[in-house]
Every structure is written in structure tokens, then in C-alpha cells.
Amino acid sequence: TVSRCGMVYVEPSQIGWEPLLTSWLNTLPEPAKPFADKLRNLFGWLVPPCTRFVVKECKSMLSVGIPMTDEVNRVRSLMTLMEALLFPALNDEARAAEIGQRLELWLENLFLFALVWAIAGIIDGASRPKFDAFLRQVAAGQPPAGYEQVDGTFGEAARWGSFLPAEATCFEYVFDQAKHTWKPWMETITREESQISPTAEFSSIIVPTLDTARYTALLHTLLDYNRPLLYVGPTGTGKTAYVQRHILSLPAEQWSSAFVNFSAQTSANQAQDIIDAKVDKRRKGVFGPPLGRRLAVFVDDLNMPSLEVYGAQPPIELLRQWMDHGGWFDRKENSFRKIVDLTFVAAMGPPGGGRNPVTPRYMRHFNIIAYTAFDDASMQRIFQTILEWWLRKEQFGADYMRMATSVVGATIDAYKESIANLLPTPSKSHYTFNLRDVARVVQGLLLTNVEDYTGPSDMIMAWCHELNRVFYDRLTDMDDCAWFREMLVGLCTKHFQQPVSKLFEERGLPLGSTGDVDDDSLRRLIYCNFAVPKGKRTYRRVESTEGLQSTMSTFLDDYNAVSSKPMKLVLFLFAMEHVCRISRVLQMPRGNVLLAGVGGSGRQSATRLAAYICDMDVFTIEVSKSYSMADWREDLKAVLRLAGMQGKGTVFLFADTQVKDEAYLEDINGLLNAGEVPNLFPADEKAQICDGVREAARQNEREGDGSMTTMFAYFVERCRDLLHICLAMSPIGDAFRRRLRMFPSLINCCTIDWFRAWPADALDAVASTFLEEVEMETDVRSSVVEMCKTFQIQTRDLAEKFGREERRMAYVTPTSYLELIQTFQTVLAEKRREVDLVRRRYDNGLDQLNGAAEAVVKMQEELTDLKPKLVVAKEETETMQVQIDKEVKEVIEPKKEVVQAEEAATNEVAMRAKGMKEECEADLAEAIPALNSAIKALDTIKKADIDLVKNMGSPPAGVKLTLEAICVMKDVKPDKVKDPDNPAKSLLDYFGPGKKLLMDSKAFVDSLKSYDKDNIPPKIIKVIREQYCTNDDFLPEKIAKASSACEGLCKWVRAMEIYDRVAKVVAPKKEKLKEAEAEYAEAMAGLSVKQAELKEVMDKLAAMEDKLKELAQTKEELEAKYEDCNAKLERAEKLMSGLGGEKQRWGEISASLGPKYDRLVGDVLLSSAVIAYLGPFTIPFRREAIAGWQRLCDEKQVPMSERFDLQEIVGDPVAIRGWNLQGLPTDSFSIDNGIIISVARRWPLMIDPQGQANKWIRKKEAEAGLLVIKLTQSDYLRTLENAIQFGKPVLCENVLEALDPALEPLLVKQTFKQGGVECIRLGDATIEYSREFKFYITSKLRNPHYLPELQVKVTLLNFMITPAGLEDQLLGIVVSQERPDLAEEKSRLVLEAAANKKQLKEIEDQILEVLSSGEGGSILEDATAINILTAAKTLGNEISEKQQVAEETEIKIDEARAGYKPVAYRTSLLFFCIASLADIDPMYQYSLEWFINLFVRAIADSEPSADLPVRLENLNSFFQDFLYRNICRSLFERDKLSFSMLLCAALLMGYDRLDADEWRQLLTGGVLLNADKAPRNPQPWLDDKLWESVLTVAQLPAFSELPAKIAENGEAYRAFLEHPEPHLAYDCLPEYVQSMSAFQKLLVLRTLRLDKLVPGISQFVAGELGQRYIEPPPFDLEGTFQDSSSTTPLIFILSPGVDPMLSLLKFAESKGRKVDSISLGQGQGPHAEQLVASGQKEGYWIVLQNC
């Protein structure tokens, strides 16, 4: 652009500001125009010197513009302020007339006032007194030296009508326009403004001060005059509070307001949307606030937006567009929107520390006022006023009131001391303090209650506690803590005249060993409002930590009872401290907390418990892969509605692991700062919210005008008061530091609680709690607890050393400690069960073998005794059988026949009698039920019913009829009475006699029951049968209608009739039955005699048969016993012959298992520590840790094995051999990693740059259906879901340093029961969780930095290949290429050996299992078991023989293979050498696969030889040279000699020809220890720096005499030092150096002539490896092409100006290949893909340029 235009440069200093002044004077109101010359003179006289003084002698908060225009901008501000002060009054005729004659005085004083605030208003507090003195001198016409004639001055000194009073600085006076005189700003504060309402909230209190008066007045003046104003000042000086308060107090009918909070992430679009939401359309293209109003826009943290790539700040550029052009473009319609009636007010901190300088083009529009930091008097006034207001309100006594001054003074001193001494550093970026911290201390004191104070000293303790909470809790290291405690002691002595130690001692708080307050003392100073479980909750000091623990445990139990995610917490002191700290913040309105600590330190658990104790809901987001910004905003709406609409105390728990987008923190920053996120709620939702809070606003008398603006402001206020944001962030890495810088509210608006590493008492408490149920001796348990604690502390130190020396980050967190303890519990229980089971099996096997041996002798004796007994038993049995046969034939059979005949005759008689009896019973079956029914009916008759019948005067017909029947049955005569129809006749009346029968109701019923039913007179029964039973009215159901009593009587009469009728028929049959029964009795008597005789005979026979049976049983038992003995003898012989040889081995194993069981505690403890801690560490660090832990075990007397081996303790030999066959390297490091994977509870994340773990997992899990995913795949979650449901293993490969947050539930195994099924939530889906599922993660990164938040969720393993593992692989490769027969046979034998050992193990397990199944009895009893054991042992013997042969063969093969070990060893050295090149440049990374392919090619291409040593030499030299050429091709020229030296050093150290310390000395130069004790330089020609180098190298044993030699023979060394080519002049040195090795001579050269080290190294490498290793081969395109393939492309890394395209085209032409190329850039990706596909199909070359 510049080259195409003619440019004219305007020098600002040539124009100056005088033309601007002339123009401005022309705009003066008419009354002021006569004084234009006076104003010009004042400008020309005072502005230049004052501006120069401010720039040269004062410190400004920021520069207004570029230096050339800075003065112009200040003058423009001066004019603007004068306009705002003067023009409104002069444009008002009435006011102008009132001023009248005083106008000149006005102009002078208003100019002076404007001069102070426009020219010097931007300087800091320390510079203001200097400016005041200077101004007074200049105004008096006596400028100081150097300012007598300032450039640009064109006015003359004049006399003042009224000048500033001298009692204070010019910044402390204001010109009173009403009284036309100067007065102090403090006099403008009214009495009402100074008073605090008794109901005021702490956050709403503003104490009027000098600053509030002057800054608010300036704001009011410029805002009324529609001029933008910018406040600049440090954080905590009240800029935001004062501006917001003033803007909100403006008349609602004239003003609207918009508040914009900038942060580092704020975009121009966000800023535009906020303001656009506040304006309405007035006409086409013109927008503004509602008609008749102005919109006051307050932009807070103006300079926070981060710079974009070209250095601009987009939000500020947008606002500048409005300032310059009156509007901005509509992003949807692309049309310009003119926005009117806006006035901007802004506030910001001084640039620096994350705040950026704002472009001068924007700054020039503002009047800028510096908010200076409060002086001590202002701070004292502010906070003392608040504290005294509270003390009076709470009715504290005079003693406490007097303490207010001391408390506030001590707090301010602590604040100032902290600023001065606790300086922010990269690791302590949160060490920034502002006045909010002082306010938090005072606010904390306001939480206490007057009833809980016993004396003024209690207030000192409360103050100490609050100071700790605000300042001490954020400290990160013990040095800072110690400094703070010293300061605390000093403050208490200075301000309260009280020694802190005495106050602590009086309250039973512990002191340190020196009697002073230490860290433990302050930790036990705890205040909370829930220490007393019953009664009023007041914020008081905790008297007993044990009581607090009990109370908190109750809360925890209650929480777990109602929570769907219960927490298993150990409430040790450390945890209780943090819960109390968080609950303290939650008690405060607008209290927010930043919890800084590594993952797993308990931040979220402590927050949840604290929230539950404070009766608040906890809200947190669930991040998934599909979680978007829209989801985030919906979650924000939900939590704001919860707090603001529903009025619930709510804790928003947000962790840095949930930050998918930094914009989340932008919104959090807004919530912390202003309580809202701009434009979060659309208009309809905002209206709904306003309706929702209206009732609450009415109840709290906050409804105001009821407008939506008022209601939403109330909603925001409720959100600020009730929503507590708890941020859980990790300080590891630069993200924490960057976020604190970008989002200042994270510090400014939060109380910081730094979660330090768990202290010793916390480690003790956790270990003791978890291990109390583990079976151990008391002293061993205490030692184990102590060791667990030591493991944690030592590994923490080891991790720091690992980071320093290896630059690899490993983190030791509380989760690691819990993992240690839980792994110890699990593995110990498992190994104890395993060892106990194996021991019992071997013991039982031995018992069975011993029992069998003893049983053989007994059984042989038993057989000898059994033979004669068996013969006798046979004879007795046969004799008894003969006797029985004779008795049966002669006696029993005849007798039996007689008895049987008589039994037949008797049975005939019995049958007849039985028939008669059945016939009688059948007849009676009809009458008996009726009779029983009648008797039951009689029982139902009640006395009352009978009395009712008796008392009837005129009874119903049914009653009469029933009594007649009764009288007939009882043979009672009737009375004769006259017929009422015909008195001449008489009637028979039964009712009267019947009533007489009823006189005694009980006797009457009893007479009926005992009625002689078998002898009823025939004449009676005849009457009943003929007159009553045939009468249809004489039925029970009809009679019941007349009387219930008569119903029963009716039933009785009818039953008697039925019974009589039946009895007449049955009686003759009964007579015949009696006769038959008599006949039967007589027959039976005769039969009984015969039967008795037969029984006697049969009993005799039975006795004989019993005897026979007994004899036969005895014989059978003897025979069975005999056979059993024989069988057992055979089994015993089989058992002894088969397993007898195992007896000794089993005995030895069993004897060793007892001590092994006892040693399990120590062995498993160390194994658990390895599993929990040592995964990320390399071999040397693992060995160092294990060695230290073993020594610790010995010291603590914890039983353990003499030699610790993880494989022997936890590993399964068969499984390990299987892993080796599947590709796991055979070195112990890799095997230990495999064991850790198999035992650890968390999923493994393997650092696997060489792909060893990846290959192993693929083969290991292939049969289980392994699924392989990458996080870059779009559907990887779907694959995971299927695998989890169906129990398939999954390998997630090639992960980077962060994992998808959607995987978190899977990593932490966050399963839950749903419908009785175990489920897990993954992403947006809830799926069934199979216990068969496995998850593996691998990373190809060489040195990834995994943050603690990730490390606590996985088992991090360093799977980088080891020298031993690589050597074994390379040996296999070289043998397979050189001797494929040996390799094939070795492979077959390895597989066969693995199968044999596995089968042998299974066979032994089977044998022991069978022997164990006979536990409690003899194995000889079980023939099947013996057969199984015999077959198993036979098979085992066969396999053992095969295995022995195979092992012998394998030894021979290994001997043959061992011949190639030198090649494998040397090649492994070369690989680790090139692997170290990545330390020089990260680009220099070479895969193991590439290296092995290169090695295989070298084997094929090297010169063959039948002589093995010659062949090995050929292989080594060819591959070394081949590798050198290939590596040099990929190195920058500057690094090729470094590679040669590294190659040489690696080979020398590999063959013990180079000392590692000497090599380190060459690389680093070393460090001189004890420099103060070092000998002085003996030679004047030797530079002190060189002498220090000599002393440093002399710390190596080989150079210990070098200083003395130089002192003795200085001239020889001087000659070497001054030689032009010392690397070729070693022969001029004395014999002492001549006798050194070539490398040691190189060290001498480095020490004395560092400038010649490079040629010295070249000479050294040439001497060791050859000249070709210092002369890198030139680039060879032909050779490079040969090394590539279709899947291994050539990548050219070009220097500027280099283009290999021409060479490539010529080479392709020589090969007859077509070449096509494409230059990559935006939009070229798809074209490149098409081109590659086409080349792949047609077989031509593709060149991708500008990659």
C-alpha cells in the first residue's frame, strides 16, 4: 500500500494544541466571550509547564496517547471538563445573571479545578503532593528551576482573584458554585450519607470518603454533560461500586443503564449484543434507548480483552467505532446502525498482569481520572465505621468498641505487609491482594455473635481466624506460612498488646515445640456455625475438634442417607478444616470460593458436605462429548432460576475439568462480578422471571415501580446473594495462571482456599481408619500406617526429583494414597486366601500320603484276622438254615391250615353282622340329623323369647299351634273354654296349659332335650302325625314369623315324629344284629385259641430266621471288609507309587508357605506401593524407591521377604509367560507393568512411544474380540457403548495430553443400579455395564504431561522400551534372519514349554484339588479319585519328561543364539542413542518400527561370512554406518556433529569405557561445591573463571590432582592455554595429562579452552569412530528414494530459498515416472486427496508443496 501511494507525514508537535484552543474559545457562551483572552492566557501560562511536570516528574496510571499527542489529549480533556462545569450554567440565562460580576472569578477557579483533574487527574497518589506544590509555585509566578520557560508557553503570569487554600492539596478542594468559593470535598458529604442503616447488608454499605465525594461528583458532572469518563485504578478501590451506585440512582424517567463486564475472552460480538439489547429502533437505521431517556453504558475492566493476532482488541475497536462514527454495522443485515443518546463510563486497572494497553485512538475520547489506592486514613475510616456500626447494632460493650480501631489497623497492616512480601510469581500467580480482602476479614467478624464472646480477647481470636481465612489459606509453601505467622505475632503485639501464644494457650490450643504459634496451632483455630449440634447456630470457635468430628460425621451420615452418590470420607482434621472454610464462605451473602488443589484432594467432596451442612442445594453440570455452549447456557439459566426465582441457597460447583470452552469462564467471570450473564435470558423468559420474583420483592419492600427493569435487577441481586460459586481448579500447568490473568474476578470476587498436600495427621487418620479391619498385630498395624504415610511423602519428593532430572511430570495425590491403601487391603486379602488355600491343599495332600502309608500296615494285619472269622461265620449260617427248613415242614405248615379254615368260617359270620349293622345305621342316618338339628334349635331358644310367648295376651295362630303340639307331646290336657263365636259351645284351649309349661324356661328346655324319644306312646305320635305334621301351617319357616322360640319347638316336634317313625323300623333289625354279634363273638373266642397256638410256633420260627439273618449279615460284612481291605491296599500302592515322589517337594513347599504367609504384610505393602505410585517412573527411579522402602520395612520390623520381586509376590508365572508370548517384552520392567495393569483398580493409560504396549494389548485381547478406537473418530462413543454392554475389551490408542470429558464416568467407574441392573452413563446415553468390559489407553507421546486431574482417574504407566527388552527383541530378529532354523525351533520350544508348564500347573492343581476333596476322610475310600490321580500323575510324568528334553534342547539353542548377543546389545545402544536426539530438537523422533526395519535391511545388505566373529563385525560396522547416514539425512547441519558425539559416547558408555560423571561434566560443565572453601588461584595468568572450572572438574576422581599440577607446572598449562590449536597440542602438557584417556583430555580442553571444544570433539570422534563420522554424507536423492516406500513418504524440510523440485523432476524422469504436484493452502485439501487417490490408482508420484 505504501509503495502505491504518495504519503504526507504530519508531525503532531508542529501543530500543537493552540489551534484546538482557538477553535474551542470560539464556542464559548456569550457571557464568557469577553474573557476569552484571559482563558487563552491561563491555558498558555499553566498548561505547558503542568503537562511537562506531570510527564517528567510524576508517575501516571497510564499514558493517554502516544507521546506526541499526549499533551493534546490532556488539553482536550481540560476543555471538556470546563465545558461540563461552565457551559450549562452560562447557557441558562437566570443562572448566568446570578453569576454576574463573579464570572471572572468563576472562570479562574473552574479553569484551575479543570486543570488539576484533566492534566494531573491521571497521576498516582504519591505524585499528587508533588504536583500540588509545583502548581502553587507556578501559579504564584515562582516556577521551580527548569520550568522558568517551558516550550509552548505563550501566556503570562497573572494575579488570582481567589486561589486554592493551602491547608490541603489541590486534589482535596472543589469550587463551590453556590457560594463562589473553594471548600474541602469532605464538606460535600451530608450527614444522611454518612449514616448506615441498621438493616443494611454488608455488600451494600458504602462509607463516604474523600474519594467517593470527588469521584462521584466528577462522574455526575461529565455524565450530565454527556461526556465519556474513564476511571483507572487498582483493584479494590471501589471504581465499580461507586459508578454502579451512581448510575442506578439516576432518575429512571431520564436514564437507562447497561453494564458491560469485559474479560480476556470477551468478543466484539458479545459487547455489541449487550448494548443492542438495550436500544430500540427509533426510525430506519437509527436506534437508541426509549425516547426521552439517555443510556448510560458502564464498561468495567475495559482493558481486559486479549489482543488478537494484529494487536487490536476487537471489543474496544467496536466501541471506538461508535465513538468515531456514531454506530456500528448490523451483523445480520450488513447495514449501518446509528445509535444515539449513549453516554459511556468505563473503569479499568493499570495495564500489566493480564491487562493490556488500550489503543490511544479510543482513549482520546475519554476524560481519564485515576482512582488512587486508598491511603491509610481512608481505609481506617471505611472499615472502622462499618465495624463500629456493627458493634453498636449488636450491643457490644465499650471494651469492644475501643477495639475497633486496633482490629481495623491490624487488618490494614496485614494487608499492606502481604502486598509487600507475598509477591506474585508464576507458581504463585494468585498472590494478588486488594481492599476486598480487608473487607472479607471485617465481614467474617460480622458473622460472630455477641453471646459467644466472654471478653475482648475473644475478638482478637476471631480476628486471627478471619485473617487466616483470607490471607493464610491461599499460601502455598511453608516459608510463606512461617512469615505470615511471624507477622501475625507482631501485629497482635503492636495493636493489641497481647502475645498470640498466650491467647492460644489460654484456650487450650496447641503451641509449637518452641512455645510459639505454629501451623498446627492455626489449623486448630476453627470457627463454624454448626459445632454445637443442638441449639441456636452461631458462628463461634470450635472448642473440641473431636466434638466437631462427631457432629460432622452425623451430617455426613445424613447426607449419605439421602444422596444418590454417597461419599465415603474420613473426617480427619484436614478435611474438617476445609469443610469449615467453605461453609464460612457459604454463610456470607455473595460469598464465592476458589478451591485450588490437585485432583483427588477432596475439593468437591468438601464442598458438597459444606453445602449440605448449610442447607443448600449443589448444582453442577454434566459434560459430555455433545455438550455445547447452548447446553451450558441452559444450565446457567437453571442455576440462576434456582437461586434468584425460587430463593434457594444454591452452590454452583464448577471444576476446571468441565471447561470445554474458555467462554464458560467468561460467563463465570460475569456471574462473580455482576451476578448475571448479559443477554442470557430472552425477553419472554425475562418476563417470566420478573413475574416469579414479584411476590418476593413485594414482601421485601423492593417492588419499586414494578417495572421489568426493577424486577430483573431484584432477580440479579437475589442471584448474587443466594448463589455461591465454588470453583475447583488445579494449580498445575499454565492454565490456572492464564485463567487468573484473563478472568480477574476469579481472584477478586473469591475467597481462595489452597488445598495443600495432606499433612501427616491426615495421612495417619486415613490409613488408620481403612486398615483397622485388616487382620494384623497391633504393632505391625501401627508400622504399616507409618509406612503408608512415608510412602506418600517420599514418592512426592521422588516425583519432584523425577521432574527435575528427567523433565517428566508425575503427581502424587491423595487419590494415590487411597489407591495404595485399597490395593493393599484387596491384594493382601486375596494373597492370604490364595496362600492359605495352597498350604491347606499341600498339607492335606501330605496327610493323605502319610495316612495311606500307615493304613497299608493296618490293613494287612486286618486281613490276617478276618480269614478264620469268615470261615466260622459261613458254617454257622449253613447249620441254622437246615434247622429252620425242618421246623417249617413238620410243625408250622399243618397248624397253619387248621387256623386258616376256622378264620374263613368266622369271617362269614362277621360279614353278616356287618351287613345288618350297616342297614340299621343307614335307616338312622335319616333321623339323627333332624334330631341333632332340633337339639341345636332348642339351644337357640332364649329366655326372653319364651317370656315373650308367655306374656302374649292374644297369641298368633302359629304360637297356639306350636303350644298345642308341645302339650300333645307332653300329654298335657287342654282347658275347656267357651267359643267366642258360639257361647253355647266350648273349645279345647292348649294355650293356657302351654303357658304353664313355659313358667320355668330352663326346666322346660331341659325336659325337651331329655325327652324319651325311643318310647313315645303310639296314641300321642298318631295325633302328632295326623293333625300337625300334615298341617301346612306347622312348618318351621312359617312358625318363625310368629315367634323365634316357637320355630325351635316346631323343629323339635317334627324331629321327634321322624325319629319315632324310623325307630319303629330299626328296632327288629337291632334284635337280629345283637344275635349275629353274639354268634361272631363265640366264633372269635375259638379262633383266638388257635391263633395263639399258631403265633407261638411262628414266633419261634421268626427267632430262628433272625438268627440266620444275623449270621448272614456277619458273613457279608466280613466278606465286604475283606474285599475293601484288598481294594484299599491296591489303591494305596497306586497312590504311593504315583505320588510318593511328591511327598518331599510338597513338604518343602508347605513348610515355606507358613513363613510366606507371615511375610505377606510387608510384601503386599511394597507391591501395593509399586502399583499405586511407581507406574509413571523409569527403572532407576523405581529401584531407588523400592530400595528405600525395603530399608524402611526393616526399620519398622514389618515382616517381608529378603528380596522383593513384584513378579513373585503378585504375578502368576503362567500368565506372565502367556503375556511374553503375546508380545510383552521379557524384561522385568515391562513385566511389572503388565502385573500393575492386571492388579490395579483403575484403567491403564500407557505412555507407549514405541508401540510395545499397543501390540501386546492387541494380541492379548484378540480372542476376546478387542475393539480399537481413536478419540478423533466421530463414532468412538458408539463403539464404546456396545463394548460396555457386551463386555468386550476396548483399546483407545494415540491419545494426547487430554481426554474427552465424556469418558470421565467410565474412567472413575461411576456405575449405578437401575432396575436391579448395573448401569453407567456415557455421554447422553445410559447403558448396561458388563463386568467383563476392559478399557486400555495408549499414547504415542514421548513425554506427555498428564495433569493430576487425569492421573487420579487412570493407572499411568511408563511403557517406554527398556534396554533389556529391546536387546531381547533385537536378538530374536537377528537370529531369525541369520539362523531361521534356530529361530523356528526356539519359537516352537517356547510355545511348547509354555503349554507344558501350564498343563503341569493344571495337573498339580487337579491332584491337590482331588486330595482336598477327600478332606475329613481317607482318599483310599474313593476309587474314582485314585484313578484320576493315577492318570493325572502319569500324564504329568510324561509332560515333565518332554519338558526336560525341551529345556535341554532350548539350552543348546540359547547357547547358539548367544553368539549373536553382541550385535543385539550394540544395536540397542544405538537405538537409545538416537532416541535421545529428541532432547536436542523435538522433530528428531524415530519410531522403533522404523529402526527395526532399518536393522533388518542392514542384516540383509551387510557382507555375509561363515565365520561368526567376522559376521558380527560386519553386521555391527555396516549397521552403524547405515544408521549414521540415515539419521544425518534428517538432521539440521548444526546438529550432525552433536549426533556423532552422542553416538560415540553411547558406545563408549555401553562398553564401560566412559564414566557417566565425566560425560555429564562435558555436557553441563558441572557446579563447584563448597566454593567458599576452594583454594585460591595460584597462577596470575589464569583467569578466575577458568580456575573455577579447574576446581569444578577436579571434583571428579580422575582430575583430583589437576589444581595442584597447575600450581606446580603452570608454564606447561599456560602454553596449552595460549596455543592456537590446543586440541592438537596435548603433547605439550605434562605426563599427568598425557596418561589420561582421550575423553579425559577432551575434558581438560573443555576446562581450559572451551572455545576449541568443537574441533576437539571432531578430533575425538574421528579417533574413536573414524573420519567419516565427522564428515556427514551429502544429500543423496537416489539413496533416499531407495529407503522410502509407497507407505513411507519422503518429507523435505526446506530452508528459505531452497527448492528441490527441479532435482525431483529430473530424478523422476530418470526413473520413468510421471510427477504431479499441488500447493497446499486454504481449500486445497479435497483436491489433494483426489490427486493422491488418482496417483495411488495409476501409479505416479505426488508432490505436496507448502505442507
* Mean model confidence pLDDT for the chain: 84
632 confidence band (pLDDT: 50, 70, 90): very high
Span 447-466, pLDDT tens digits: 998 888 888 899 999 999 99
Are 238 and 413 in contact by the 8 Å Cβ rule? The answer is: no
SS3 297: strand
**Angle, in degrees to the nearest 10, between helices 1638-1648 and 1584-1593:** 150
1310 confidence band (pLDDT: 50, 70, 90): confident
Cell of residue 256, nine digits: 437507562
Cα–Cα distance, 934 to 1008 (Å, whole number): 10
**Angle, in degrees to the nearest 10, between helices 943-950 and 1044-1139:** 170
SS3 16: coil
1416 confidence band (pLDDT: 50, 70, 90): very low
**Angle, in degrees to the nearest 10, between helices 778-806 and 814-887:** 140
Cα–Cα distance, 431 to 421 (Å, whole number): 10
Are 1347 and 1338 in contact by the 8 Å Cβ rule? The answer is: no
More confident residue, 1065 or 741: 741
Most confident of 240-249, 1252-1261, 1428-1437: 1252-1261
Other CB atoms within 10 A of residue 997 CB: 20
Q: Would the pTM of this model clear 0.85, i.e. be above it?
A: no
Mean pLDDT of all residues in 738-754: 89
Mean pLDDT of all residues in 338-348: 94
Span 463-509, pLDDT tens digits: 999 999 999 999 998 899 999 999 999 999 999 888 889 999 888 88
Strand order in the sheet with 723-729: 617-619, 650-655, 723-729, 593-596, 751-754
Span 1562-1613, pLDDT tens digits: 988 888 888 778 888 888 888 888 898 999 999 999 998 998 888 888 888 8
| pLDDT score of 112 more than 80 | yes
709 confidence band (pLDDT: 50, 70, 90): confident
| pLDDT score of 1423 more than 60 | no
Cell of residue 1133, nine digits: 500302592
Span 399-429, pLDDT tens digits: 889 999 999 999 999 999 999 999 988 888 8
Cα–Cα distance, 1062 to 925 (Å, whole number): 9
921 confidence band (pLDDT: 50, 70, 90): low
Cα–Cα distance, 816 to 798 (Å, whole number): 14
Residue 1386: predicted pLDDT: 63
- 3-state SS of 524-555 is CCCEECCCCCCCCCCEEECCCHHHHHHHHHHH
1415 confidence band (pLDDT: 50, 70, 90): very low
Least confident of 289-298, 467-476, 1064-1073: 1064-1073
Are 1053 and 965 in contact by the 8 Å Cβ rule? The answer is: yes
1 confidence band (pLDDT: 50, 70, 90): very low
Cα–Cα distance, 230 to 154 (Å, whole number): 30
Are 524 and 509 in contact by the 8 Å Cβ rule? The answer is: yes
